[in-house]
Chain A
Amino acid sequence: MHSNTSDLLHLVPADFPSAWNRQIEPTLINHEQVIAWLETDLDHQLHFSPGLIVITTRRILARIAGDEHWQAWHYQPNMKLAYQDHAGICSIELSDTSARLARWYCTLSKQQAADQLIIHFIRLIDALDTQAALPAKGMAEQASSNQNTAGNDDSSEAAYAHHDQEATSTPPSTWTLFRLWRFARPYKWQLFTGFMLMLGSTAAALVPPYLTMPLMDNVLIPYQNGHPINVDLVIFYLSGLLGAAIVAWILGWARTYVLARISERIGADLRTTTYEHLLKLSQAYFGGKRTGDLMARIGAETDRINLFLSLNLLDFATDVLMIVLTVIILVSIDPWLALITLLPLPIIAWLIHLVRDRLRVGFEKTNRVWAEVNNVLADTLPGIRVVKAFAQEVREIERFRAVNQRNVEINDRVNKVWALFTPTVTLLTECGLLVVWIFGIWQVSQDHITVGVLTAFLAYIGRFYLRLDSMSRIVSATQKAAAGTKRIFDILDHVSSVPEPVKPVHLPAIKGHIELRNVGFRYGTRRVIQNFNFAIEPGEMIGLVGHSGSGKSTLINLICRFYDVTEGAILIDGIDIRSLPIADYRKHIGLVLQEPFLFFGTIAENIAYGKPDASRKEIITAARAAHAHEFILRLPYGYDSLVGERGQALSGGERQRISIARALLIDPHILILDEATSSVDTQTEQEIQGALDNLVSGRTTLAIAHRLSTLQEANRLIVLDHGKIVETGNHAELMACQGHYYHLYQSQSRSPDNEESSVEPGNLSDIRGNRV
């Protein structure tokens, strides 16, 4: 046995899962080598349980939970291993020419390993067919290294998902507030100044009660005992009082001003940073978030944090300082009395602790509900035409009322806790005052303290309890701010799923050669594009054809890098687009979307969106090329007419032409037209097409159109079906081979009326455009 182990080390790669090592070793026969494997995680009934599929030099072995023994199939020519996935479950089927031999399942997390397994299997079978020798070792190494990378990817994704989950399930801790320090750091010296001012003003505010003590003992009490009033002493004490008040006033003013200034800046930085970060996140992030929620976060919640910093936190710090200083003074005057005075403090602290947790959860809920209210608004208002068209106003009002009602309910619940809290604190402080009176009078009667000391004490604790009261109020503000901070940092912590390259490669000029290599893509678990391989030469015009939902727009999203491919790579001039700086890369692309979007501003500004410093001449040239010039001149203010929200309403076709002009103005090397002319009539389309033909020359162009006649000029047409390429070739070739394209074309030319009517739904695309 022992002599065998060195052999076995050869047979099983080092990174083979150790749990399976013992079980696989006895099964291997005659120097059979393990090449690739797949750890499955589902059994035949789709319950979670571990299993293993192994590809060796001779056989395919499998052992799924519940199997007593390894099942094995020797390789035969024409054996097939096929992969399918649906709704997050992959199935792998082994079949020969006559029947299915086996089927295994795993979750999508194993998908990359499964692909590897199949690639190796195919190579082995091919090799079997050609009777070639197997470069087994090299392949095994490659397999394992591939598996390694796949594994790494998985763990990082998993870690990320975990992070997300964690973030949503725990209520925000007050400690989140300390994360704001990142924004405060630039102002630390000003903050320090503010703090010193605060210390000064608080200390000054504590002087007057202190002076009541000698005023009482040295002036008033002696007078009662028959001594005349010492006017000099009175003047001295009273001017002390006045002076302290004035100093406190000046310092207090400076403190509030300095700190409020800083907090305003911190708030602005916070808002801008969040917005900046948000805009750099990928399309996928925006797909998953609702506009209203994001708006609430950046708008209302940064404001709340700001308010907290400028008012509540300031008050809180003053309160704490005041309390600490008061305690010091009280103890220095009379420790026993001080002890009695401070009696309610621990009780209040305990109360705060009790209430805080409930409030925290409650406030986070209110924030979420508030975002929900915003969401309803952000949903309905841009889609108002649909709402009115289907006469659903009442329903939308109901929906709004419902979330608003929830808002009220949740706030009610929070307020219930809250309402009880403040009066309780007040009651406690009143009781405290009572105790001090009782103890104080007793002490005075025993001649332990003077009347002056008692008066000073009462003056101090008046302030002291007032502070406690206001401090308890801050609990709610703190919790609100903590909840807001957490939601802001949710955005800031999110890493774009389309990351900027670590070591960017700079392309000064691009030729426009695009290559898609083995590209696969899925939205979540849904596979939309698979196994895409094709190359576009510089200057070529490619038409993408396929039925609705076949993945054309998705392909364009990938080429523009709105999403990153899940498999394979997209290369531009031979360089992976993931290694180019994103903004640099997109500058080379002129994109006209299926749903044109105009910003609020003049038409000229909208056309010049991608090149804000464009001259008027350039703008007009671009508009002419897009056949927008004449209709623009017909508007009351020409190129100065306002469009977009609240602006001049434009038809769907007019908007499309403006967005074509926008794309043409930046003079891109790559022009992408996603249904760019779907909302204009056939004649205008032909005119635009004519203009485009001039502009297209020399540029790599990708055009999508449902109206196939639009694409006849294309050098090559790529016909998609369910995310796969089914045919390529130019119009004539594809017509000749009578396949997919031929049928599509036939069905269109047979019913030209249908074609024409597709001009009408300009309104539909209007609405879609609004909703982007």
Chain B
Amino acid sequence: MKLSEYKLERNAFGRVVAIGKDQIYESVIPVRAFPITAADEGVALVDGHGHEVAWIDNLVELQESERTLIEEELASREFMPEIKRIDKVSSFATPSTWQIQTNRGETSLILKGEEDIRRLSLATLLITDSHGIHFLIRDRLILDHHSNRLLDRFL
């Protein structure tokens, strides 16, 4: 079902409501189909039971107001900091604490083992820290030399 058949609104509780011709879905949630490889392509609106209500091929084809609404909603639910720089690692043997700069600020993560670094594509890495938080390195090649050298010891 295309999104054009619905009207999206935020209700008084801050939930997104999808209003169709003959049905109203309270609190729909936008979900990205490819959050890592193609974040803007394919977003589904699912209801509280996980059933798909509407499908958006690409966020850019939406009207301004609806897109902001969905993006706000996505932003409030997504937490996958992107690593911009690795400042320091406590040791090259795991477990190891990394001091890092992310797009959400400076923090540290504890890497339990090398296997928690997963290669999603040639240059994209996903790092799971000891608390299960995922950190993304979207493109290894554009990291600075220092970070890359540290990272390389774990790959």
Measured CB to CB, the residues of A under 8 A from B are 602, 604, 616-617, 620, 629-634, 637-640, 642, 646
Contacts and interface: CB of A to CB of B under 8 A. Distances in A.
Contacts of B32: 638
A630 B51 contact: yes
Interface in B10-57: 31-38, 41-42, 44, 46, 50-52, 57
Given A633-B33, A638-B32, A640-B35, 9 more contacts: A616-B41, A616-B42, A620-B42, A629-B44, A630-B51, A630-B52, A634-B50, A637-B36, A639-B42
B118 interface: yes
Contacts of B35: 637-638, 640
A102 to B, nearest CB: 69
Contacts of A632: 33
B33 A616 contact: yes
B123 to A, nearest CB: 15
A760 B55 CA distance: 32
Contact of A639 (B33, B50, B115, B118): B33
Contacts of A604: 34, 37
Contacts, number: 47
Contacts of B34: 604, 616, 638-640
Nearest to B51: A630
A638 B33 CA distance: 5
Nearest to B57: A617
Nearest to A646: B115
Contact of A629 (B38, B52, B115): B52
Contacts of B44: 629, 633
Contacts of A602: 37, 120
22 contacts: A602-B37, A602-B120, A604-B34, A616-B34, A617-B57, A620-B42, A630-B52, A632-B33, A633-B33, A633-B44, A633-B52, A634-B31, A634-B46, A634-B50, A637-B35, A638-B31, A638-B32, A639-B33, A639-B34, A639-B42, A640-B36, A640-B120
B37 to A, nearest CB: 6
A633 B36 contact: no
A632 B46 CA distance: 12
Contact of A616 (B36, B38, B52): B38
Nearest to B49: A630
3 A-B pairs with the lowest CB-CB distances in the bound complex, closest first: A640-B36, A638-B33, A633-B31
A602 B38 CA distance: 13
Given A616-B33, A639-B33, A640-B35, A633 B50 contact: yes
Contacts of B37: 602, 604, 639-640
A630 B53 CA distance: 10
Contacts of B42: 616, 620, 639
B41 A630 contact: no
Contacts of B115: 646
B33 to A, nearest CB: 5
Q: Which of A602, A632, A633, A639 has the most CB of B within 10 A?
A: A633
A637 B115 CA distance: 18
Contacts of A638: 31-35
Contacts of A642: 118
Interface string B99-139: 00000000000000001001010000000000000000000
B18 to A, nearest CB: 16
B97 to A, nearest CB: 23
Contacts of A637: 35-36
Most chain-B Cβ atoms within 10 A of its Cβ — which of A620, A631, A637, A646?
Answer: A637
A642 B127 CA distance: 13
Nearest to A617: B57
A633 B46 CA distance: 9
A608 B34 CA distance: 14
Contacts of A640: 34-37, 120
Contacts of B31: 633-634, 638
Contacts of A630: 46, 50-52
A640 B57 CA distance: 16
Interface in B44-81: 44, 46, 50-52, 57
A616 B34 CA distance: 9
B59 to A, nearest CB: 14
A630 B33 CA distance: 10
A171 B89 CA distance: 53
Nearest to B118: A642
B118 A620 contact: no
A653 to B, nearest CB: 15
Contacts of B57: 617
Nearest to A632: B33
A600 to B, nearest CB: 10
Contacts of B41: 616
B81 to A, nearest CB: 15
B2 to A, nearest CB: 14
B82 to A, nearest CB: 14
Contacts of B36: 637, 640
